[in-house]
Amino acid sequence: MTDYVNTALGPVPADALGITSMHEHLLLGMPGWEYDASYKYDRRAVADLCIEKVNEAKALGLKSIVDATPMDLCRDIELFKTVQEATGVNIIASTGLYTVTDGNLVFWKLLAAYRGYDEALGRLKYTYTKEVTEGIGDTGVKAGVIKIATGKEIAQIEEISIHAAALTQQETGVRIISHTAAPAMGRPTAECLLAKGADPSRTMIGHMCDTPDAQLIIDCLDLGFWVGLDRFGLTMSISDEEKCRVLAELIEKGYINRLLLGHDCQVFNQVTDLIPAAMLAKMPDWNLSGLFRSIIPHMKEIGITDEQIHTLLVDNPRRFFSGS
């Protein structure tokens, strides 16, 4: 039986995904951006920028992108449709909520406080399930993954989101991915997912490459989870060379079949691109093309083979979404 993945233009067979980046953002907007009166969102201009950047990466081989933007960080499904139509690159949308500190989930937090855990859980599970099975708003586009998020500890509403995601997964089979505040939070996030009934073989613990300590990653892998080494190019805390070294260590130890790659980059961040150009200039590979331009060549220099890179970028995303 063929397994299909929901994209912005409908279901695509998992074995047609090709080279897949597992955690990116075409557009991000941190809560509050919409109150900056000096700015007006020009979707056409942002779409043109996204099309340009996606086409650059497509020319280097990229075929599919998981857009990990949760509902509360300015997720724009119409933008995804426009970009997928123009480029032919699959855009897989997420449902889910961000962290209690940086997301926009005060309503859900208060709902849990006033009406209790179960009421918030039920409504959030309904929402996730609706977005996965019927579609997001009235766009007709179904979410392809649920994104959950944890901070430096797991706040109650983050736990409820994990619980709602796990219950939705049990009913629909949808894959779960995570924003994990720090690699040390990988194992606690994984344990919470397990406690709420998530299937580790259908769940990726993300943002785990910001550490030189492979054991923090192995702690999640040994529970049966996929791990996202999905911040290549984002070198504020650790260099790409160090990330590649840890990747090689994990491959050496036999974990290649559970590893997924990405940049966690953002093509545009509301408003007028939030992150200063000078900061971006220090991270020239933090974009959709970084892996292909610079980082994979470095992986090869340290002995990672073409076949292993194919496993990481093509076979593993297919297996993550299809189970085979």
Identity of the residue, 66 or 112, whose beta carbon is nearer to Zn ion in the bound complex: 66
Tell me: does residue 19 bind Zn ion (CB under 5 A).
Answer: no
Identity of the residue, 63 or 207, whose beta carbon is nearer to Zn ion in the bound complex: 207
Burial class (CB within 10 angstroms; exposed 0-12, middle 13-18, buried 19+) of 1: exposed
Tell me: does residue 74 bind Zn ion (CB under 5 A).
Answer: no
Structure tokens at 157: 């509403």
Member of 72, 219, 264, 285 binding Zn ion (CB under 5 A): 264
Q: Which residues, other chains included, contact 183 with Cβ-Cβ below 8 Å and sequence gap of 6+?
A: 207, 208, 209, 210, 211, 213, 216, 217
Tell me: does residue 68 bind Zn ion (CB under 5 A).
Answer: yes
- Of 281, 309, 313, 282, residue with least CA distance to 297: 309
- Of 203, 217, 263, 281, residue with least CA distance to 56: 263
Region binding Zn ion by CB under 5 A among candidate stretches 42-50, 67-75, 240-248, 252-260: 67-75
Tell me: does residue 210 bind Zn ion (CB under 5 A).
Answer: no
Region binding Zn ion by CB under 5 A among candidate stretches 35-43, 66-74, 292-300, 316-324: 66-74
Tell me: does residue 205 bind Zn ion (CB under 5 A).
Answer: no
Tell me: does residue 72 bind Zn ion (CB under 5 A).
Answer: no
Element (H, E) at 97: none
Region binding Zn ion by CB under 5 A among candidate stretches 40-48, 119-127, 261-269, 289-297: 261-269
Burial class (CB within 10 angstroms; exposed 0-12, middle 13-18, buried 19+) of 18: middle
Q: Which residues, other chains included, contact 296 with Cβ-Cβ below 8 Å and sequence gap of 6+?
A: 309
Binding mask 148-177 for Zn ion (x = CB under 5 A): ------------------------------
Identity of the residue, 23 or 163, whose beta carbon is nearer to Zn ion in the bound complex: 23
Tell me: does residue 219 bind Zn ion (CB under 5 A).
Answer: no
Q: How far is the CB of 29 from Zn ion (least distance, A)?
A: 13
Helix axes 156-172, 117-133, angle to 10 degrees: 40
# residues contacting Zn ion (CB under 5 A): 2
Binding mask 76-115 for Zn ion (x = CB under 5 A): ----------------------------------------
Side-chain half-sphere of 275: how many Cα atoms within 13 Å?
A: 17
Q: How far is the CB of 265 from Zn ion (least distance, A)?
A: 8
Identity of the residue, 112 or 136, whose beta carbon is nearer to Zn ion in the bound complex: 136
- Of 107, 192, 106, residue with least CA distance to 148: 192
Are 277 and 215 in contact by the 8 Å Cβ rule? The answer is no
Binding site for Zn ion (CB under 5 A): 68, 264
